[in-house]
Amino acid sequence: MNEQTHPLTAAAPGDIVARDKRYIWHPYTQHGTETDPLVVARAKGASLFDADGREILDMISSWWTCTHGHAHPKINAAIARQAETIEHVMFAGFTHAPAVDLAETLASLLPGDLNRVFYSDDGSTSVEVAIKIAYQSWINRGETRRTLIAFEGGYHGDTLGAMSVGRSSQMFGAFKDLMCDVRVVPFPATFDGDDAVDEREAAALSALEATLSGGKDTIAAMIIEPMMQGSAGIRFCRPGFLARMVEMARAAGVVVIFDEVATGFGRTGRLFAMEHAGVTPDLVCLSKGLTGGYMPLAATVARDWLFDLFLGPDFDRALPHGHSFTANPLACSVALAALGLYAEEQTMERIAKINAAHRTMLDVLAARPDVSRQRVLGPVLAFELNEGGAYQSEASRKLRAWYIANGFNIRPIGSTVYLMPPYCITDEELFRAYAGMIEGLDRLGSGSL
């Protein structure tokens, strides 16, 4: 194609939308009903800017990936430096400093002997790797265990194994006949002022105990999003439940997988959600905030004893898994820069300030008759619309459209409205977002959306 038919330079927003509608298939989108996408021309800090220069506060961190803000100068510099050295090399039979430095850094930040880092591309593939490691670890021990335990509402990605353990998320009905064997147990979601959580936790633990007892010699692993289920509607659990659940799984000899794709890197108020409960899983899946939202990269980190099960004289014991862009040097360098900012910019203190600001909204939300189950965890604020609905419900679509039109990237999940801002957000930006969030609720209630 020549430049006239395939322009590589700036194009008019209308032209971009028209070509998008002709060629693009967007994620989680019903193209039969979806409105035209918004053309984002640039981003900086906590804000996106459309082609007309209009600011949109990125209050969900672009699907929870953006931690330190868009176009951070130190992360930009890390990309430029690395691009001048090596942009990519296959990772079988080769290695490079960014991958080794990042693995060493992750091992130093994670608790216990979570020391062995397997790189992949995104959250779903990190879960896929964890499931395969857990499954093959039993084969390497001379046993065959085919069953997995997952939690009601859990979402772990869109690849086949990840869909299997996320089967109760109601996203994957079309693929149920392809899924592997999974037992689903309740997740005792809690919220501010919840008086029945003890009862729900006891019921969930009882169900887990029954599943473990009934699956002796057949259950390979258990997977959970610790402290916060993301796509299920930003549902929180308590640290004590998490600790007891791990204890029960360990007593049954089951491999424990924590999916920290959404919860890692400060999203629950600790660097890793597992820190709330003081427990160490056998495998942890990391992505999203790993690169500060810049580039696709994931890591599945295993304890030493699991890695050792794959050692031997024959390839049959090795893990037959890989990706073309495993440990991409650009992505690893970006991740190192992003991790370095937690100390340089006192990021955890910033997260604590966001948490304190969110908590000022709990009474405001509690006074509203149209919402319920308000809750805060770390830099995350969430609540339910009393007249909400399923994913892409009419109410959520109306709210999302109004928020975007008025300068806020707030994207409800069914009946759940939530904020999960970049950690660089200013007080002024945060309180502007609160005001916009409340105005959107008022307009929804008055029927003026």
Catalytic residue among 288, 342, 418, 434: 288
To the query of whether residue 74 is one of the catalytic residues in this protein, the response is no
In sequence order, which residues have a C-beta less than 8 Å from that of residue 439 and are 6 or more positions away? Answer: 406
Measured CA to CA, the distance from residue 358 to residue 341 in angstroms comes to 23
* Predicted local distance difference test score (pLDDT) of residue 390: 67
To the query of whether residue 119 is one of the catalytic residues in this protein, the response is no
From residue 276, how far is each of 263, 418, 438 by CA, in Å? 11, 21, 31
* Predicted local distance difference test score (pLDDT) of residue 34: 87
Q: Which two tokens stand for residue 308?
A: 């050792």
To the query of whether residue 288 is one of the catalytic residues in this protein, the response is yes
Measured CA to CA, the distance from residue 305 to residue 358 in angstroms comes to 41
Measured CA to CA, the distance from residue 320 to residue 332 in angstroms comes to 22
* Predicted local distance difference test score (pLDDT) of residue 10: 62
What predicted TM-score, i.e. pTM, was given to this entire model? 0.95
In sequence order, which residues have a C-beta less than 8 Å from that of residue 394 and are 6 or more positions away? Answer: none
* Predicted local distance difference test score (pLDDT) of residue 2: 43
What letter does residue 55 receive in the DSSP assignment?
E
What letter does residue 378 receive in the DSSP assignment?
T
Q: For residue 326, give the nearest of 81, 75, 88, 80 by alpha carbon.
A: 88
To the query of whether residue 28 is one of the catalytic residues in this protein, the response is yes
Question: If you write DSSP's letter for every residue of 327-376 in order, what string do you get?
Answer: T-HHHHHHHHHHHHHHHHTTHHHHHHHHHHHHHTTHHHHHT-TTEEEEEE
Q: How many helices (H) and strands (E) does the chain have?
A: 15, 15
Measured CA to CA, the distance from residue 285 to residue 265 in angstroms comes to 12
What letter does residue 446 receive in the DSSP assignment?
H
Catalytic residue among 15, 20, 21, 28: 28
Across the beta sheet with 371-377, the strand order is 371-377, 380-385, 416-419
The per-residue pLDDT string of the chain (449 residues; one tens digit each, 9 = 90 and over) reads 444 444 444 678 889 999 999 999 999 888 998 889 999 999 999 999 999 999 999 999 999 999 999 999 999 999 999 999 999 999 999 999 999 999 999 999 999 999 999 999 999 999 999 999 999 999 999 999 999 999 999 999 999 999 999 998 777 888 888 899 999 999 999 999 999 999 999 999 999 999 999 998 999 999 999 999 999 999 999 999 999 999 999 999 999 999 999 999 999 999 999 999 999 999 999 999 999 999 999 999 999 999 999 999 999 999 999 999 999 999 999 999 999 999 999 999 999 999 999 999 999 999 999 999 999 999 999 999 998 666 667 888 899 999 999 999 999 999 999 999 999 999 999 999 999 999 999 999 999 98
Catalytic residue among 155, 342, 403, 418: 155
Catalytic residue among 121, 122, 158, 259: 259
Measured CA to CA, the distance from residue 195 to residue 187 in angstroms comes to 16
Q: For residue 244, give the nearest of 188, 296, 326, 193 by alpha carbon.
A: 188
Helix axes 427-446, 347-359, angle to 10 degrees: 30
Across the beta sheet with 55-57, the strand order is 40-44, 47-50, 55-57
